[in-house]
A and B are shown apart, each in its own frame.
Chain A
């Protein structure tokens, strides 16, 4: 017999009202404005944009405040919002070589054209908590220096001149970039689709996998050829205009990981590459993505697939934190009927088990008595 039950409507409504109250917190403390979050929690906003896969700072800030700072909940909100909007098209591919660079460092070349630009980095800070920040002190304007408007070629171009590095990844001429928002995932997948999945993947998950490759699970000797952060211009082809429409600029982080490669039956000894590209200023994520991209190319280079980071189905199926949280968190929702069935089953098995035990004991007793 199937019995439908209803209930909890008042409890749910009251819980949501309580959530709204707790979200606001102490009313004597001023409420956060979205521009404060955009300006002062900018890297949190960038993470929500990158993993929410939607470039819109104000929406990401709204999601963060609505989620009480729970980043995965905020990412979930942004993903849900995306589905309500029509899609106007695909932009032309961005040119990271023409980026208005705000940070650019290379761990492989000291004197590369354009130089090492540290930008607004946490690197080389002492990681000491700053009491002055807590006291809300004034912050000085940054220093300026005349900039030589040097072109800043991607570091891969420098190694390419010697022919010691593989070229940028190509796909067949007539290949249309796959889109995981339109087609279900299928394995094995092409590298373009994998990169789309990795770019919106969970930072923590990809970081841990990247770390695992460094610790020896699919070791591939990485160097940061280059990390660059800055704004790139977006352009869209539309039917009503004879040229690509400039849409404005978006900030992205790009990581070119350079990996040593001894060569195999498929390729000569050379440097191979992993690529990372994410929305916003998100260096750790771009680096983790590049490490994972390289590890996932194992079969392409004839390497043995021995570690989790090389297992495409494992990595890509578990990299999306919205899917992951959905499936893990659904466990707390009512499973009364499922559980009732399990309970009946366990009771029956236990009864059968006990009956067997008792029968066995009775047999022993009988044998002992004889």
Chain B
């Protein structure tokens, strides 16, 4: 049971990281300031920019191959209360990486988790969901509806 709980918590933490990674740095900074979240932390690493090699699969689902590189910025921070937060995000936005690492650390503090989730993660998720839904709806409008032409009389 404990193992299951730990796994669930890992999945939740991963979902929070995914939300932060998908969001723009501007959105994160705006919500951060509105929420008045603390941006003080000790940097254990970074923020620093490097590369990851993106892998695809032959034929879509076969053996992996190296497609090309992408820029990634990472940061690791420690809060005064001891929590260590990590972040790896596409791009070169150091401010975003820094705040995302702090958010990861704050989220691990049970006394701050609700605040981080309600004031930062939930609004970011809502914005991402509506952006995704709009994308889908715009693409759906270009779906081809085939119809059969009836030729001749009856």
Which A residues contact B (CB, under 8 angstroms)? 49-50, 53-56, 58-59, 82, 85-94, 96-97, 100-103, 110-111, 115-120, 142-149, 154, 156, 167-171, 175, 177-181, 191-193, 195-196, 199-200, 233-234, 236, 238, 240-250, 252, 254, 256, 273, 275, 277-279
User: In the complex the two chains form, what is the Cα distance from A175 to B58 in whole Å?
Assistant: 13
**Beta-carbon nearest neighbor of A89 in chain B:** B52
Which B residues contact A (CB, under 8 angstroms)? 10-11, 13-14, 17-18, 21-22, 49-72, 74, 76, 86, 88-92, 132-144, 146
Whole-angstrom distance from the CB of B65 to the nearest CB of chain A?
4
**Beta-carbon nearest neighbor of B19 in chain A:** A246
Is B63 a contact partner of A88 (Cβ separation < 8 A)? no
User: In the complex the two chains form, what is the Cα distance from A192 to B21 in whole Å?
Assistant: 29
Q: How many A-B residue pairs have CB under 8 A?
A: 230
Question: 29 A–B contact pairs at CB < 8 A?
Answer: A55-B68, A58-B91, A86-B50, A88-B52, A92-B55, A94-B54, A97-B61, A102-B139, A103-B142, A117-B142, A117-B144, A143-B141, A145-B137, A146-B140, A169-B58, A177-B65, A180-B66, A200-B68, A233-B18, A236-B52, A236-B72, A244-B14, A245-B86, A246-B14, A247-B52, A248-B22, A248-B90, A273-B59, A279-B68
Q: Which residues of A contact B18 (CB under 8 A)?
A: 233, 246
Whole-angstrom distance from the CB of B3 to the nearest CB of chain A?
12
**Beta-carbon nearest neighbor of A78 in chain B:** B69
Choose one: A85, A86, A250; the contact of B90 (CB below 8 Å): A250
Is A238 a contact partner of B88 (Cβ separation < 8 A)? yes
Is A56 a contact partner of B70 (Cβ separation < 8 A)? yes
Q: Which residues of A contact B69 (CB under 8 A)?
A: 53-55, 82, 87, 181
Is A96 a contact partner of B60 (Cβ separation < 8 A)? yes
User: In the complex the two chains form, what is the Cα distance from A117 to B141 in whole Å?
Assistant: 8
Whole-angstrom distance from the CB of B9 to the nearest CB of chain A?
10
User: In the complex the two chains form, what is the Cα distance from A241 to B136 in whole Å?
Assistant: 32
Choose one: B51, B67, B89, B90; the contact of A277 (CB below 8 Å): B67
Q: Which residues of A contact B137 (CB under 8 A)?
A: 144-147
**Beta-carbon nearest neighbor of B146 in chain A:** A110
Is B53 a contact partner of A87 (Cβ separation < 8 A)? yes
Known contacts being A50-B68, A177-B65, is A88 close to B51, with CB within 8 Å? yes
User: In the complex the two chains form, what is the Cα distance from A167 to B58 in whole Å?
Assistant: 10
Known contacts being A56-B70, A56-B91, A168-B62, is A117 close to B57, with CB within 8 Å? no
User: In the complex the two chains form, what is the Cα distance from A53 to B53 in whole Å?
Assistant: 9
